Structure 1
């Protein structure tokens, strides 16, 4: 079976591929764990994923999760994104973070008109879209056929490995009011400024994207507020499962990295316990120490709780999508607060495991310290922090609109 896609006014065809299910995709991610673990130190040191890691993720099809099926993608559900990112995170937290962000970027690109989707994927089903939800740029002027954009956007994870970049811009109207839009630009149209010098998640290469007078045609502008509110009718085929909260989608992609990192730390400490001394005691090894046993039990419970809560967030979004509905603001505010709790649980588990292992966990040669840095930085992403998610949820619980505080609900 062939599907047609319009490219530059002509017609291109792409084969309709057999779409792998969740179990297959998660198995592919698990199969990359050893390779990603091996490359993680280099990705951390070089502040970007290795070419081998990117190739492995791409070759496994893990950058196609949210790409339209008619263009060779999988249109996977949110639970699949969570489980794939979690497995990738057991090998490398930065690789999982980038996988989550680029798939979320492709999700947003898939909401643009079919003409734009064809531009993005008809010649390359593995094309990747970096996306950032930072403050919208206001250097926007109307020109014939579209707008010309000048601005900067920081913390663009995956920008070093993207074919397209999605940013927020404030497009002026005749009334003088600016309306926020997603703008989709080719990666070769922008500059990447090397600004990502952070203690953790170093391999994400979350640098600053700079646009200087970049022309964006009208078709590659998409109003922002309707997407947040689930008003996607007319934007996509009704059969497509793209009626999820964008905030829920974005957080799930990030949470998979944190869950995977916490799981990897737990596995590492547990496996080492029979062969490590219980310092300052007569126990023959750490595994015999009740303190270590209690720490493992507590960490395991935190990680398991995080997994269950993250799965609930994903399943809630998927259930609404399958029903052709959009979750109300209370459900969405709860998802944002629960995402924050998942991030906190992962951080607490890793901190506990670092203490349980001992001070050598902080040696630069020990992978635990990299996981600790990654999870501590990643769990403090703006989407999880500053107490805003709790304020949103609390406001929704008393019947008030949380969007009075933030549109990211």
Structure 2
């Protein structure tokens, strides 16, 4: 029988904290090789951190969102790419729990540590055929796919009347071609390569209509009673990835203060940077912004946990606020890292100095379509002004 005694929030956070030195040590290798090394994946597995969003009846933990946010942000403090990949695996494992019970049996197969990656952009088309669809298309930004066994992908299903229905499909990675095109300025270690489906048959059982998934009214089978699965998709996904930005901001703070002792400000009389008023102003400003990022992440996480426990439905404004929290956390995290990076001096441009990598990673996150701060602010403002949201992803 699966062990359903899930570790506590503090225990899982402690396990993540224990991994931070390993992640920091491996960060340059991870960036250079554009993937997570086997020992890091093994450490995540051995610590049980890949089980957080797996259904309990498969030995998973069904961890509350506050726990997931804590763990993901701590992993990102060690290495941004590792935090991001763990976040995607967590979201995608949770998504797999929305498929029919028989499909979940096939995916997890008694192994709660199975790695599942996922894409939300519907860049493939499925043509109906007997028993399913024939799928063709390409998905870019497919994080961790080369180290995953399954992929939850977005697509559209063509109908005879010429319309297209957004769908989610669950596909074994072995059935997809991989295009090694992930050569980027930031988040390089996430291995977010492209994958391709060519005349791929996907059975009906591994297809979900996307609107009910986004609306949180999907059929759940054995997972129907779980509080974790009472939460809507977008607030869940948004809070998970916002935690990565928070972790990077914390990493920037740590990296800056580790180099501060004994540093001078060149071409000035300051032999100790720590004594300069500009340093006091900069660091206080940066840490305040990190605190603000934490507020937004944990507000969203708390709302997810509390509303699920109470069985409460989400209003449109609450859904939009989750997107706002994502955008605000990402923006504040970037601002904090930018401040600390700018105060780090010319020597910080060397690849051996972590702050430059942290800055590129958080900058990359702000460009993500879901995480882009201004886009999330606009969405929330539209809803506040009584307009319909201009997106289905809410």
TM-score between the two structures when normalised by the length of structure 1: 0.93
Residue 386 of structure 1: how far off its partner (Å): 7.5
Residue 240 of structure 1: how far off its partner (Å): 4.0
| 1:146 correspondence with 2:153 | no
Residue 200 of structure 1: how far off its partner (Å): 0.3
Aligned counterparts of 2:373 and 2:247: Cα–Cα separation in 1: 24
Aligned to 1:228: 214
Aligned counterparts of 2:303 and 2:286: Cα–Cα separation in 1: 26
Aligned to 2:190: 204
Aligned counterparts of 1:22 and 1:386: Cα–Cα separation in 2: 29
Aligned residues: 393
Residue 233 of structure 1: how far off its partner (Å): 4.8
Which ranges of structure 2 fall in alignment gaps of 5 or more residues? Answer: none
Aligned to 1:406: 391
Query: Deviation digits for residues 156-207 of structure 1, max 9, x if unmatched?
Result: 1111211100111211234442211100000111111111111000000111
CA contact (8 A) 2:168 2:210 kept: yes
Residue 17 of structure 1: how far off its partner (Å): 4.0
| 1:50 correspondence with 2:50 | no
Residue 75 of structure 1: how far off its partner (Å): 0.5
Aligned to 2:19: 32
CA contact (8 A) 1:232 1:243 kept: no
Aligned counterparts of 2:19 and 2:71: Cα–Cα separation in 1: 11
Aligned counterparts of 1:103 and 1:239: Cα–Cα separation in 2: 16
Aligned to 1:161: 147
| 1:73 correspondence with 2:82 | no
Range with greater deviation from structure 2 (94-103 or 165-174) = 165-174
CA contact (8 A) 1:136 1:180 kept: no
For residues 312 and 240 of structure 1, do their structure 2 counterparts lie closer, same or farther at Cα, with a shift above 3 Å needed? closer
Which ranges of structure 1 fall in alignment gaps of 5 or more residues? Answer: 3-14
Aligned to 2:201: 215
| 1:92 correspondence with 2:79 | yes
Aligned to 2:308: 321
Aligned to 1:295: 282
Aligned counterparts of 2:171 and 2:80: Cα–Cα separation in 1: 27
Aligned counterparts of 1:368 and 1:266: Cα–Cα separation in 2: 9
Aligned counterparts of 1:123 and 1:143: Cα–Cα separation in 2: 31
CA contact (8 A) 1:329 1:401 kept: no
CA contact (8 A) 1:230 1:326 kept: no
| 1:284 correspondence with 2:271 | yes
Normalized per residue, which structure has more helix?
A: 2
Aligned to 1:109: 96
CA contact (8 A) 2:75 2:82 kept: yes
Aligned counterparts of 1:234 and 1:281: Cα–Cα separation in 2: 64
Aligned to 1:241: 228
Aligned counterparts of 2:228 and 2:255: Cα–Cα separation in 1: 37
Aligned counterparts of 1:45 and 1:272: Cα–Cα separation in 2: 23
Pairing partner for 1:172 from 152, 158, 167:
158
Residue 272 of structure 1: how far off its partner (Å): 2.1
